[in-house]
């Protein structure tokens, strides 16, 4: 039975072409030759270990550690297990057992990963092999603590597409029809002086001067002033994002901020109010006043209507995901699966995020009101809400490149703190700044794609590869907290973009059912009846739960597609043959239809 596990583990590995070349027989003399290696990747060490597989028990193997990955191949003839784990995925390395440990396989390392699994290796007690492995792993998994560069800066991969050119803000705003009479592009933040966590290029109301913007910045947390994210192509209502106003306990006011919001409201003449969505639960918004923050009260902002969306903070989300891991890894809670799932609250959070985004999208689309979205700092919940609402409203973002642009724009350029939230190369696994906010967003996208299986150009594999490289540190895409930091580190010059890998291999990430529908607004149903745990991501390490890939309906469709193309080709050939034959008398008609494989399918 164990021999059958190869394909499963391989299929889960992060995308890597070299994996396919890996020989399975295990007799290759030069073993280091057989392990996949990226350009710029160097082998540090290899060791004989026992991998304690939670599903198939202990398996003897050899582990190779490079400056990018941990690679394990089993040495047992009947089990061809392969583990291929980028070191960036590691969140924590612990020693288990001591010098006096007696039990079998009780001495070794326990590695906690950011992608919902743990890896346990048993090592020999004598000869310092554990100490060596622990030190090497710690060094390369947490390079920042050892003044080493992240692997992305050593990666020498070359692709025929440059992912860094995918997002060009000027082009994206032009696609949206900007600038126009009401909105202008400003370079006030060119050197990140106005706001160090915002992008260099911003879209602001035409009627607000750069001086106005500077004054508004003083009243918004971390100077994250309201700027345009998206404009409705027809009714010209907008989605504007920012951070909370600095109202404080004393209920401070700022005339410039009030005026600025009024200018935003006036860009849309269809409705007399500006709608403000505060992503937080109202109690939290009130509590924020104690630390100088707060919300726009309606007795000050007369022309605005404020709603709270009750989405919880990063700490709640982090704990919720921890609970998800508890019920799915290594064993899936069986008898009380549903109530355990409920007690994680994970899907409940997803429901609230989706509900909030639907409200934003609906307000803009049918409510014909401009919308301002913020949470506390405007880089977590705000990014979730604006990007999901944009995904619902604008079919462009549902294409592969469109989605890359959406992520690049709403998340990367607007300063979602990827570095702090993920902890790239950082050993402090208990850091309270870590939180799966981006994962939660991708989960929401997956829920939408599940409800609308024909609306997205990309497939599930696309979402999973994004999440895999969110941690891997192989690409520069998700490194650092904001655009200014990335510029200082010359990320675009010194690293490769994840989109290079994806876009040079696009076919693999395409959804065959995709039907392009311009102007179609997509509202998912945010009900627990339709939300489900993303099994193919959260439980993908469990060979028992593994879903068929690709799913059989998709496979059948691909077969039909191939058949159709073949028939079209044949028909063209026949037409060609006919036109040449026209002058000649028809030859004896054979019965070629018998040669055709007739369509037989159950659907």
Partner 1 sequence: MLGKGVVGGGGGTKAPKPSFVSYVRPEEIHTNEKEVTEKEVTLHLLPGEQLLCEASTVLKYVQEDSCQHGVYGRLVCTDFKIAFLGDDESALDNDETQFKNKVIGENDITLHCVDQIYGVFDEKKKTLFGQLKKYPEKLIIHCKDLRVFHFCLRYTKEEEVKRIVSGIIHHTQAPKLLKRLFLFSYATATQNNTAADPKNHTVMFDTLKDWCWELERTKGNMKYKAVSVNEGYKVCERLPAYFVVPTPLAEEDVQRFQGHGIPIWCWSCHNGSALLKMSALPKEQDDGILQIQKSFLDGIYKTIHRPPYEIVKTEDLSGNFLSLQEIQTAYSKFKQLFLIDNSTEFWDTDIKWFSLLESSSWLDIIRRCLKKAIEITECMEAQNMNILLLEENASDLCCLISSLVQVMMDPHCRTRIGFQSLVQKEWVMGGHCFLDRCNHLRQSDKEEVPVFQLFLDCVWQLVHQHPPAFEFTETYLTVLSDSLYIPIFSTFFFNSPHQKDTNVHQRQLSLPLTQSKSSPKRGFFREETDHLIKNLLGKRISKLINSSDELQDNFREFYDSWHSKPTDYHGLLLPHIEGPEIRVWAQRYLRWIPEAQILGGGTVATMSKLLEMMEEVQSLQEKIDERHHSQEDPQAEPPCLLRNSARLSSLFPFALLQRHSSKPILPTSGWKALGDEEDLAKREDEFVDLGDV
Site for partner 1 in 492-521 (CB under 8 A): 513, 515, 520-521
Q: Are 238 and 267 in contact (CB under 8 A)?
A: yes
Give catalytic status of residue 375 as yes or no: yes
Nearest of 82, 81, 89 to residue 111 by alpha carbon? 89
The Cα 291–Cα 497 span in angstroms is 38
Nearest of 39, 36, 43 to residue 15 by alpha carbon? 36
State which of residues 316, 399, 428, 550 lies at the interface with partner 1 (CB under 8 A): 316
Site string for partner 1, 227-266 (x = CB under 8 A): -------------------x-x------------------
Give residue for tokens 């707060």. Answer: 294
Nearer to partner 1, 191 or 561 (CB): 561
The answer to whether residue 185 forms part of the interface with partner 1 (CB under 8 A) is no
110 is in an annotated binding site: no
* Least Å from the CB of residue 93 to partner 1: 26
113 is in an annotated binding site: no
* Least Å from the CB of residue 293 to partner 1: 6
Nearer to partner 1, 104 or 334 (CB): 334
State which of residues 32, 42, 339, 504 lies at the interface with partner 1 (CB under 8 A): 339
Chain-centre distance of CA 82, in angstroms?
25
Nearer to partner 1, 127 or 552 (CB): 552
Site for partner 1 in 137-166 (CB under 8 A): none
The Cα 127–Cα 162 span in angstroms is 47
505 is in an annotated binding site: no
Q: Are 415 and 481 in contact (CB under 8 A)?
A: yes
Q: Is 356 helix (H, G, I), strand (E, B) or coil?
A: helix
The Cα 290–Cα 580 span in angstroms is 86
- How far is the CA of 351 from the CAs of 92, 449, 564, 579, in angstroms? 30, 15, 40, 60
User: Residue 339: is it exposed, middle or buried by C-beta count within 10 angstroms (0-12/13-18/19+)?
Assistant: exposed
Buried b (16+ CB within 10 A) or exposed e, 114-136: bbbbbbbbbbebeeebbeebbeb
The answer to whether residue 98 forms part of the interface with partner 1 (CB under 8 A) is no
State which of residues 110, 135, 333, 487 lies at the interface with partner 1 (CB under 8 A): 333
Give residue for tokens 């006011």. Answer: 253
Kindly determine how many residues on this chain lie close enough to bind partner 1 according to the rule CB under 8 A. 107
The answer to whether residue 455 forms part of the interface with partner 1 (CB under 8 A) is yes
**Strand pairing report for 238-242 and 371-374:** parallel
Q: Which of 113, 195, 242, 375 is catalytic?
A: 375
Encoded tokens for 146: 């050892």
The answer to whether residue 196 forms part of the interface with partner 1 (CB under 8 A) is no
Encoded tokens for 153: 């800066």
* Least Å from the CB of residue 215 to partner 1: 13
313 is in an annotated binding site: yes
State which of residues 129, 355, 428, 492 lies at the interface with partner 1 (CB under 8 A): 355
Cα angle value 236/199/216 (rounded, 5°) = 70
Nearer to partner 1, 172 or 460 (CB): 460
The answer to whether residue 170 forms part of the interface with partner 1 (CB under 8 A) is no
Site for partner 1 in 563-582 (CB under 8 A): 563-564, 567-568, 570-571, 574-575, 578, 581
Site for partner 1 in 522-561 (CB under 8 A): 523-530, 532-533, 535, 539, 543-546, 548, 552-557, 560-561
Contacting range for partner 1; rule: CB under 8 A; set: 24-32, 36-44, 229-237, 332-340: 332-340
Encoded tokens for 442: 């991708």
The answer to whether residue 314 forms part of the interface with partner 1 (CB under 8 A) is yes
Chain-centre distance of CA 247, in angstroms?
34
The answer to whether residue 592 forms part of the interface with partner 1 (CB under 8 A) is yes
Encoded tokens for 510: 């395409």
Q: Are 411 and 387 in contact (CB under 8 A)?
A: yes
DSSP 174: H
* Least Å from the CB of residue 311 to partner 1: 9
* Least Å from the CB of residue 331 to partner 1: 10
Contacting range for partner 1; rule: CB under 8 A; set: 10-18, 208-216, 452-460, 497-505: 452-460
Nearer to partner 1, 361 or 400 (CB): 361
Site string for partner 1, 379-398 (x = CB under 8 A): -x------------------
Give residue for tokens 């900007």. Answer: 178
Q: Please list the active-site residues.
A: 375
- Residues at the binding site for substrate are 313-314, 375-381
């Amino acid at each position: 039975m164990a021999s059958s596990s190869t394909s499963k583990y391989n299929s889960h590995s992060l995308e890597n072409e070299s994996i396919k070349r890996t020989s399975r027989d295990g007799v290759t003399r030069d073993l280091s030759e057989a392990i996949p290696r990226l350009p710029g990747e160097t082998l540090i060490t290899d060791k004989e270990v026992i991998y304690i597989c939670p599903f198939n028990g202990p398996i003897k193997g050899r582990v190779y550690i490079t400056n990018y990955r941990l690679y394990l191949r089993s040495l047992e003839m009947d089990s061809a297990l392969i583990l291929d784990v980028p070191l960036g995925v590691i969140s924590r390395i612990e020693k288990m057992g001591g010098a006096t440990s007696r039990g079998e396989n009780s001495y070794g390392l326990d590695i906690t990963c950011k992608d919902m699994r743990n890896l346990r290796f048993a090592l020999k007690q004598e000869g310092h092999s554990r100490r060596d492995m622990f030190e090497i792993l710690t060094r390369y998994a947490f390079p920042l603590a050892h003044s080493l560069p992240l692997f992305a800066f050593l990666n020498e991969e070359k692709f025929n597409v440059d992912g860094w050119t995918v997002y060009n803000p000027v082009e994206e705003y032009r696609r949206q029809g900007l600038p126009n009479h009401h909105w202008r592009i400003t370079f006030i933040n060119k050197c990140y002086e106005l706001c160090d966590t915002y992008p260099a290029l911003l879209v602001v109301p035409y009627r607000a001067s750069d001086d106005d913007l500077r004054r508004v910045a003083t009243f918004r947390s971390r100077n994250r002033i309201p700027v345009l994210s998206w404009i409705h192509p027809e009714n010209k209502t907008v989605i504007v994002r920012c951070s909370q106003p600095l109202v404080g306990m004393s209920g401070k006011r700022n005339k410039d901020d009030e005026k600025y919001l009024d200018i935003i409201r006036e860009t849309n003449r269809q409705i007399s109010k500006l709608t403000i969505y505060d992503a937080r639960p109202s109690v939290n918004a009130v509590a924020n006043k104690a630390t100088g923050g707060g919300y726009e009260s309606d007795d000050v902002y007369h022309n605005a209507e404020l709603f709270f969306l009750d989405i919880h903070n990063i700490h709640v989300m982090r704990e919720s995901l921890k609970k998800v891991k508890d019920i799915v890894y290594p064993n899936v809670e069986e008898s009380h699966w549903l109530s355990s799932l409920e007690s994680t609250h994970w899907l409940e959070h997803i429901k609230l995020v989706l509900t909030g985004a639907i409200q934003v999208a609906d307000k803009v689309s049918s409510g014909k009101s401009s919308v301002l979205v913020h949470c506390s700092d405007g880089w977590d919940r705000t990014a979730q809400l604006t990007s999901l609402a944009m995904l619902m409203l604008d079919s462009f973002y549902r294409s592969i490149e469109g989605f890359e642009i959406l992520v690049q724009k709403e998340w990367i350029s607007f300063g979602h703190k990827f570095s702090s939230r993920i902890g790239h190369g950082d050993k402090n696994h208990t850091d309270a700044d870590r939180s799966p906010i981006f994962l939660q967003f991708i989960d929401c996208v997956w829920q939408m794609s599940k409800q609308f299986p024909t609306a997205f150009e990309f497939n599930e594999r696309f979402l999973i590869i994004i999440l895999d490289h969110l941690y891997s540190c192989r690409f520069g895409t998700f490194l650092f907290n904001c655009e200014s930091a990335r510029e200082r580190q010359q990320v675009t010059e010194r690293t490769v973009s994840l989109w290079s890998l994806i876009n040079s291999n696009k076919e693999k990430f395409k959804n065959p059912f995709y039907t392009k529908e311009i102007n179609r607004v997509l509202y998912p149903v945010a009900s627990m009846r339709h939300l489900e745990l993303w099994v193919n991501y959260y439980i993908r390490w469990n060979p028992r739960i593994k879903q068929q890939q690709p799913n059989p309906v998709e496979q059948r469709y691909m077969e039909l597609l191939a058949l159709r193309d073949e028939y079209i080709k044949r028909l063209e050939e026949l037409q060609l043959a006919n036109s040449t034959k026209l002058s000649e008398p028809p030859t004896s008609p054979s019965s070629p239809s018998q040669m055709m494989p007739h369509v037989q399918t159950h659907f």
